[in-house]
Amino acid sequence: MLYNFFEKNKFLSVYAPLIVYWLILFTATTLPAKQVPKTGINDKIEHLLGYFLLTFLLSNVLFFQNKNKILKRFPISIALLIAAFYGIVDELHQLFIPGRLCDFYDWTADVTGALAAGILYFLIKKYFQSRSLSGQKTNLEN
């Protein structure tokens, strides 16, 4: 049921959230240090949460796209690689932003958040797949 909703409303429910979020993330990491809004959350937790959401949304996009079978078959692994690479690029790009710096520990927080998202996405995917299979068995038995 949820799968069908995502399939039928793919742009608004799958692609648009990733596009909007990634633009927000890029904008936030491009702001000079003095302009970054204070959240009251530890910097490393911000990185973890930021890349958690990026990886979760990216996994969803890769899973629901239908143009590339490899991306569809391994959405979590590929999303993790993309997020880790983007984290490196993002940290390096901050060398050119006033008051920002390239920090290995920020990147490790990024990757930790990405891994946590990958695990959660995997568990959610397995849960819905098992429900779908058990529903099919029930329908076949009737």
pLDDT digits (tens, 9 = 90+) for 91-114: 999 999 999 999 999 999 999 999
| Rounded Cα gap, residues 90 and 102, in angstroms | 8
Question: Which domain, by its residues, includes 64?
Answer: 11-30+41-132
Is 116 inside any structural domain?
yes
Helix (H, G, I), strand (E, B) or coil at 9: coil
pTM of this structure: 0.89
**pLDDT value of position 2:** 79
Query: DSSP letter at 37?
Result: P
Which phi and psi (to 5°) does residue 41 adopt? -105, 145
In the structure, how many helices (H) and strands (E) does the chain have? 7, 0
Please identify every stretch of the chain with a pLDDT value under 70, giving residue numbers as ranges. Answer: 133-142
Is 139 inside any structural domain?
no
**pLDDT value of position 19:** 98
CA proximity to 79, closest of 124, 34, 121, 35: 121
Is 48 inside any structural domain?
yes
| Rounded Cα gap, residues 117 and 125, in angstroms | 12
Distances (CA, A) of 48 to 13, 27, 32, 70: 23, 17, 20, 27
91 neighbors 103 (Cβ within 8 angstroms): yes
**pLDDT value of position 137:** 47
Is 62 inside any structural domain?
yes
**pLDDT value of position 128:** 85
Is 1 inside any structural domain?
no
**pLDDT value of position 135:** 65
Is 36 inside any structural domain?
no
Helix (H, G, I), strand (E, B) or coil at 74: coil
Total domains in the chain come to 1
**pLDDT value of position 132:** 73
